[in-house]
């Protein structure tokens, strides 16, 4: 029989990966300028990675990047951000800290996107990427924190080991 934590991680990947894929495939975007856009994929990758860990963040990040205009850039950046968020969330969980701060791990994805943008000849458009980061990272922290308040079991949905004592570090 499959452990509950593994089953729940698969559900997280399917749910958030599909949402991220559908949002971009349906072109539900707000242009920021140049090749950069604002859409809900960032939120789905971050929440899914905070909930499911680094492997889930990687899988959801890949799903988020496939339908993009420049898949190489988006897959690399969303997958990197998802892994970073998942690693930070797991670390914070083990330390009994508020996992909402793991959303800051998306900065790793934004850095990868900036490097790819420069490599692909879009370095003049990196400022739009910074705008996206300034909008999305604080909102992700707030959204995850509110999910933790509304659904306390959110922290343990995909984790089997008992959590450390939670230290309130509300954003």
Task: Residue 28: give its domain's CATH number.
Answer: 1.10.1760.20
Q: What mean pLDDT do residues 139-156 have?
A: 92
Q: Does residue 33 form part of some domain?
A: yes
Lowest mean pLDDT among 100-114, 131-145, 147-161: 147-161
Q: Which residue in 85, 141, 138, 139 sits closest to 109, CA to CA? A: 85
CA dist 100 and 67 (Å) reads: 27
Q: What is the tally of structural domains in the chain?
A: 1
What pLDDT score was predicted for residue 157? 85
pLDDT tens across 71-104, in order? 999 999 999 999 999 999 999 999 999 999 999 9
Kindly state whether residue 88 falls inside one of the protein's structural domains. yes
> How far, in Å, CA of 140 to CA of 85, rounded?
11
Residue 114 has pLDDT above 90, yes or no: yes
86 within 8 A of 57, measured Cβ to Cβ: yes
In a domain, 52, yes or no: yes
Question: Which is more confident, 156 or 166?
Answer: 156
Rounded to whole angstroms, the Cα distance separating 62 from 72 reads 10
Instruction: Give the pLDDT of residue 35.
Output: 67
Indicate the pLDDT class of residue 118, thresholds 50, 70 and 90.
very high
Domain holding 132, by residue range, is: 4-156
Q: How far is CA 148 from CA 101, 144, 168, in A?
A: 12, 6, 11
Please name the residues in contact with 156: beta carbons below 8 A apart, sequence gap of 6 or more: 163
Q: Percentage of the chain surpassing pLDDT 90?
A: 68
Strand 36-38 relative to strand 30-33: parallel, antiparallel, unpaired? antiparallel
pLDDT band at 128 (very low <50, low <70, confident <90, very high): confident
pTM for the whole structure: 0.90
Domain presence at residue 99? yes
């Amino acid at each position: 029989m499959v452990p509950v934590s593994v089953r729940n991680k698969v559900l997280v990947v399917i749910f958030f990966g599909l949402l991220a894929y559908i949002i971009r495939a349906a072109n539900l975007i707000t242009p920021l300028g140049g090749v950069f856009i604002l859409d809900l994929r960032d939120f789905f990758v971050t929440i899914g990675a905070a909930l499911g860990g680094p492997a889930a963040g990687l899988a959801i990040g890949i799903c988020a990047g496939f339908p993009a205009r420049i898949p190489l850039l988006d897959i690399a950046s969303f997958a990197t951000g998802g892994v970073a968020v998942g690693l930070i969330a797991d670390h914070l969980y083990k330390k009994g800290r508020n996992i909402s701060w793991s959303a800051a791990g998306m900065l790793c994805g934004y850095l990868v996107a900036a490097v790819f943008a420069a490599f692909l000849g879009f370095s003049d458009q990196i400022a739009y990427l910074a705008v996206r980061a300034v909008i999305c990272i604080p909102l992700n922290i707030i959204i995850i924190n509110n999910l933790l308040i509304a659904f306390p079991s959110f922290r343990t949905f995909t984790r089997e080991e008992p959590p450390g004592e939670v230290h309130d570090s509300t954003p």
